[in-house]
Amino acid sequence: MQVIDDPVAARRWVHERQREGKRIGLVPTMGALHDGHLSLVQASRAECDATVVTIYVNPTQFGPNEDFQKYPRTLERDLEQLRAREVALVFTPSDAVMYPPGFSTYVEPPAVARRWEGEHRPGHFRGVATVVMKLFNIIPADVAFFGQKDYQQTRVVLRMVEDLNIPVQIKVCPTVREDDGLAMSSRNQYLSAEERRRATALYRGLQAGRAALEQGTGSPHAVCQAVRQVLIDAGINDIDYIALADPESLEPLEVARPPAVLLVAARVGGTRLIDNVVIPKY
């Protein structure tokens, strides 16, 4: 496994393998790897000849009062896990390389970035779109793998790739959960034991909402209320949003009918968690 922090060397590495006819898979991450990230690596290994993982905590997608400074950084452990999974290349750029003095070009994210995370984390998707675009240019992979865990992010990336004619195929992989349903996240490390127990309410709430939707009687408001009740019962009061939305546009549904995505963002203690379930058309 090679570890490279220079964009020119990384791009050369990819081009050399593509010239040999190899299909290259890309898994962008911010590190602090868990089984959710590793499921993307496995998906890439299953369909590509060589997998590239990027590890970069991207400062431009964090707001001024967010957790950029304290975000977990566990590079040595991450590299061990990737080595064990026969990843071919890990790209670990520095801030100085990604955002050198004078850097001032950003990607204006698509309309699907406007609501939900976009509203509660101003500038977040501008940072995401910009860094993902940069990573696609540095690692010109054939396929890139993203997790459904960050549902709105997948819609932003899919739209950007289409709108800007980026020659990469996007694959969205299912959310990997702990046994009790909590979606795996690098931020789960921030939770105390008691908060960790309460955090299971996010997924339980989403399931209650899905059940309300599938019973077919409720309005979108009633579906969201079903989610809210489970959160409130677990003592989670600091809720950024609960939304029943169109799975493509992410606009709120006017009628509670699949296909839909049910999205939630809430703080458990000081830790902001997000989760979602997609309810396909019957």
Q: Are strands 260-268 and 24-29 parallel, antiparallel or unpaired?
A: unpaired
184 binds ligand AMP (CB under 6 A): yes
87 binds ligand AMP (CB under 6 A): no
What character string, x for contact with ligand AMP (CB under 6 A) and - otherwise, covers 95-134?
Answer: ----------------------------------------
Alpha helices, H only, 68-150: 75-84, 95-98, 117-120, 124-138
Cβ-contact 144, 168 below 8 angstroms: yes
15 flagged as catalytic: no
Residues 6+ apart with CB under 8 A from 278: 148, 151, 247, 259, 260, 261
146 binds ligand AMP (CB under 6 A): yes
Between residues 53 and 236, which has the closer beta carbon with respect to ligand AMP? 53
Task: Count the Cβ atoms, other than its own, within 10 Å of residue 32.
Answer: 20
Between residues 92 and 229, which has the closer beta carbon with respect to ligand AMP? 92
What character string, x for contact with ligand AMP (CB under 6 A) and - otherwise, covers 21-60?
Answer: --------xx-----xx-xx--------------------
The dihedral sign for the CA sequence 232, 180, 246, 107: positive
Instruction: State which residue has the least CB distance to ligand AMP.
Output: 147
CB 152 → ligand AMP: shortest distance, Å?
10
* Catalytic positions, written as ranges: 37
